[in-house]
Amino acid sequence: MEVANCTISFNEVEKARENISKFIHKTPVYTNSTINNITGRSIFFKAENFQKTGSFKARGALNTVTCMMNSDLHPEGGSVTCSSGNHGQALAWAANTVGLPSSVVIPRHAPLIKKEAIKEYGANLIECGSKYMDRVTMCQKAALELNYDIIPSSDHPDVIAGQGTIALEFFEAIPNLDALFVSVGGGGMIAGIAIAAKHINPDIKVYAVEPDGKILEKCLRSGQKLWPAPPQYLDTIADGIMRQSVADVAWPYMLENVEKEVFTVNDEEIVNAMKFVFERMKLVIETSAAATVAAVMSDQFKKLDDTIQNVGVILCGGNVDINNLPW
């Protein structure tokens, strides 16, 4: 679908909450004494793994289809997207919630649990190759053949506004947050969270967490998108954040609101963090969520300014294949 030029403000995030609050979960916030002792700070975990469809993506997807249904852009057919899994599940659920048919283009290598969930939420599943253009081409073909509108996973203002509702809930639970840690794939979540968080507390630090090879810090410091085109996918265990570049719509909000210092984590750190959360916090999280935990357990985190004491960590999802855990 074509997206008109749109400035995403705090008002859009508040409107998104009005659109979705009746259907989503207000997810809990957890603490863990062991990690507080390790870090010497108070760490608060926003558990989006308990969200509808098992990830934060439900927020943006539902807000987008709701806005579409209430506008002149109401699709004559339905909605389609290409997704590594979580956005696909979210769109399938959101479309079903508002009575809209949907199809999801997903890489063949995506976790089985994500594929099965997409079908269970009522969407038609279309498998494709692992390359970016494989997804785009198949998605465009499906949209044309089915007369469906394409809803991207990050590159849409209504998606970003929906993800920003995480920050509204987090500040209601923990008003004195000094920093937020958010894993970054396409950037829709961190863009929305940063818009809302900076409005509530202009002094808050919003830190991006990335897998090896994303070069996000280099891009943020230069103010330029230095990634190759078309977008590439990184060789990382964190399949939900394997896209190297960030979405065009998300980029300016990241550049304005996100710290230039980025936390980069490798596969070993992600797996160790995931095991820690499973064993010590008794929470099921996926690798993309474990990335933020790895960041706050890192040596880099220890070097943060001592004034940063209350730290919010987004556990973005919990969709794992329990028969194929990464250890």
Residues of the chain short of pLDDT 70, as ranges, are 1-6, 72-76, 84
Rounded Cα gap, residues 9 and 278, in angstroms: 36
Q: How far apart are CA 167 and CA 165, in angstroms?
A: 5
DSSP 3-state assignment of 313? Answer: strand
The pLDDT tens digits for 18-30 are 999 999 999 999 9
Tokens at 202, concatenated: 């202009």
Would you say how long the chain is, in residues? Answer: 327
What is the predicted pLDDT for the residue at 130?
79
| Amino acid occupying residue 203 | D
Active site residue 303: no
Cα distances (Å, whole numbers) of residue 37 to 40, 79, 178, 296 = 5, 47, 18, 12
Per DSSP, the three-state class of 123 is coil
Question: Could you check whether the bond before residue 230 is cis, i.e. omega within 30 degrees of 0?
Answer: yes
Q: List, in order of start, the domains of the chain with CATH numbers.
A: 10-56+158-315 (3.40.50.1100), 58-155 (3.40.50.1100)
Catalytic status, residue 84 = yes
Among residues 15, 57, 198, 214, the one annotated as catalytic is 57
Position 3 scores a pLDDT of 46
Query: Per the residue annotation, which of 55, 79, 83, 84 is the catalytic one?
Result: 84
**What pLDDT, on a 0 to 100 scale, did the predictor assign at position 207?**
99
Of all residues in the chain, what percent carry a pLDDT higher than 90?
80
Torsions phi, psi for 79 (to 5 deg) = -130, 150
Q: HSE-up of 323 (CA within 13 Å, CB side)? A: 3
Angle at 69 between CA 64 and CA 74, to 5 degrees: 100
Distance, CA of 257 to CA of 192 (rounded, Å)? 10
Cα gap 94→88, rounded to integer Å: 10
pLDDT at residue 294, as a whole number:
99
DSSP-H helix ranges across 207-277? 216-222, 251-257, 267-276
pLDDT in tens, 60-78: 999 999 998 887 655 567 8
H helices present in 99-227, as ranges: 112-120, 132-146, 157-163, 165-173, 188-200, 216-222
- CA dist 66 and 137 (Å) reads 26
Residue 282 region by backbone torsions, left for phi larger than 0, else alpha for psi between -120 and 50, else beta: left
DSSP string, 153-166: SSSSHHHHHHHTHH
Place of tokens 């968080």: 197
